[in-house]
Structures are given as C-alpha cells and as structure tokens.
Amino acid sequence: MKRNVKTQKLQNKIKASILKHVQTINNRKTVTSQASSSDNKQFTKYVPVFLGLLLLICIAGCSNPFGSENNAEAEAETAGKFRITATTGMIADAARQVGGEHVYVTGLMGPGVDPHMYKASQGDIRKLDEADLVLYNGLHLEGSMTNIMEKMSRTRDVTAVTASIPTGELRQSEENSSEYDPHIWFDVSLWMQAVEQIRDSMIASDPGHAEDYRINASAYLAELKQLDKEVRQQIASIPKQSRVLITGHDAFGYYGDAYDIEVRGLQGISTASEYGSRDVSELRDMLVERRIQAVFVESSVPARSMEAIIAGAAQQGHTVRIGGELYSDALGEQGSAAGDYIGMIRHNTETIVKALR
C-alpha cells in the first residue's frame, strides 16, 4: 500500500512538472506566432526536457517498478470487471449482491465509521476516480462528501441510491423541514427501493450484464422481503409498554415507523448536531418514569453520551443497563455476523428483542 502511495506521489510530481513545462511551451508558442521567430530556439530547447519527462512518467506509470506486485494483484482482481465504488458498507453489499461475479466493489467507509462526519481522503478520491460507477446514499448522509458527489455527477456515472424514493415515503427532519432523514436502510422495504435503484444504475452503466443483474437483484429482493417480515414478527413479540428503543443518535426513525417501536435518540439525525444537558435530563426522566430497562449504544457513535444517562437514572434509583451494541450507520467487521446488510438488521433486531422482551 505504502509503495503505491509513493509511486502515486512520484507520478503526480512528474505530471505537475510536465504540465508546467507544457504551459511554458504554450505561452512561448503564442508569443512566437504573434511576433518574431526568435523564440523558436527557446521553444525547441524544451522539447528534449518534455520528452525526457514523458519517458520518466512512462517508467513510473506503465511498468511501475516500485509497486508492480501490488498493482499486478489489483489488476488481476479488477480485470474485465465493472468497477463500483460505494460510500457505506450497506450500499457496497447491495452492489456485490446485484453484481455478483461481474463487479469489483470498493466500499469507502469501513466498520465503525460515522458517515455524517466522514472526510474523503486522497485515496478515496482516487477510488472514486477509478470507478465505472459511484454509488452513495444521498439525503446528506455523507455530510461533507455530498458536494464531491454532486460535482462528480456532472461528468461521470454517480447515483444517490435514495434518488427514486418518493419524498412522501421519507421522514422529514425535525430540525429542518426541508431535509429528510437519510437512514432509510432501517426500513427493509425502503432499502428494497434503494436496491432497485442500484440495479437500474448498474444496468444503465453496464448494459452487457443487464440480464444477470436482474436475476441477482430479484433473488436478493426476495431475501429482503423475507427479512422485512421476520423483523416485524420479532419486534411484535416485545410487550407494547416496553417497546422503546433509546440510542445515541436518531438513526432508527424508519425502523420505529416500519416495525412499530417507539424510538428516541439523544442526538438528532446527524451526529454532527450537538446535544445539551437538557436532552440528557429529558431522556433520563423518561427512563425513570416509564421504568425502561435498557438503552443501546451504536458501533459508529461514542458510548459516553449513553453512560451519562444511565448514571443520571441511577442517581434517581432506577437501574438501566446497556442493552447491547447496535450497528447504525456502518456494518460490522467483514466475515462477522453483522458484516453484511441482512446480518446487521438481524443482529440489531435480536439485540433489541433480547434486551426489552
């Protein structure tokens, strides 16, 4: 990896240097054509420099003496495949399910990563740049990356997977009525619409594999339909008065609406919003009054906010425990039970049911 970064830096340096020289040459050319030909000698002086640099970039870029093994590996993996770069793990998973053997999917945000606060690195920009199709959530989930996506969409295939969901099916933000809650993956039936959007974008960008994308998508959508049913049944098994889900930030609004469980978050729908001592005391009072047994922490949000509420309730003689860790805005480690979307929804539901039933 390090070697690749080094090579990339070298290439960029050489490219910048060539650009500078080409600019100089161009400037001189304009002057030459306008006035005398006395500068022609100066111009031709740059030609060998230019050619030399061109040769250098070829050595660095084409044969890549510093990172040939890594590059060969990466090339073998991506050879002939349709390359997709996705922001969240949930989107990357859906793209893999729909794409199967035809695609090479790169996910930018790994386990425990908070998309609201995420800043794109230089490496991310390269991964976005190399992709045949870029997929992101949209509805401002990706915070500061949203601008990059919108700019990129002018020149290449970039899709917000929430783009085709009718606004009537979205939850309006409590803080700002012109914004919508981006956490649509928590209502499995809404996520199915996102999967359909992913399928359609893949077909539009890579029509040669349209048939396979359709077949794969319909198998995955059938699994999701089953999952949706399963979650509804599970949550219904919690007694109505205990059916309250308290988390660090408001990621579970769609989950609450879809599966009939009251949801309260300490922070708003973005972790970028601040919470105050009033939010803490309000939530604490609710726990005490309603004798709620458990609150939940999230894998992508620090747990200390929830600990403050538990301590507050304890001071008033009510014991609350951490019901478990939920995956809200990022999947679990790859290969773990919550490492893919279906596993994540199952893990969350089982954790909630176990703690509240």
Place of tokens 């198998």: 219
Q: How many CB atoms lie within 10 A of CB 294?
A: 20
> Whose CA is closest to 186, among 170, 201, 202, 173?
170
Which range binds Zn ion by CB under 5 A, 49-57, 240-248, 281-289, 321-329? 321-329
- Span of 39-47, 302-310, 327-335, 337-345 interacting with Zn ion by CB under 5 A: 327-335
Q: What H or E segment, with its residue span, contains residue 266?
A: strand 262-267
Least CB distance to Zn ion at residue 197 (A): 20
Nearest to 172 by CA among 69, 282, 268, 53: 268
What 3-state DSSP class applies to 271? coil
Characterize the bridge pairing of strands 133-136 and 82-86: parallel
Closer residue to Zn ion (CB): 7 or 247: 247
| Site map 243..262 versus Zn ion, x via CB under 5 A | --------x-----------
Least separation, in Å, of the C-beta of 328 and Zn ion? 6
CB-wise, 251 or 263, nearer to Zn ion?
251
Who contacts 80 (Cβ-Cβ below 8 Å, separation ≥6)?
A: none
Distance between start and end Cα atoms, the chain: 47
How far is 99 from 316, CA to CA, in rounded Å?
54
Residue 298 touching Zn ion (CB under 5 A): no
Nearer to Zn ion, 61 or 143 (CB): 143
Query: Does residue number 329 form part of the binding site for Zn ion (CB under 5 A)?
Result: yes
CB of 301 to Zn ion, least distance (A): 8
Q: Can residue 181 be called a binding residue for Zn ion (CB under 5 A)?
A: no
- 142 vs 329, which CB is nearer to Zn ion? 329
Compute the least distance from the CB of residue 275 to Zn ion, in Å: 14
Interacting residues with Zn ion (CB under 5 A): 251, 329
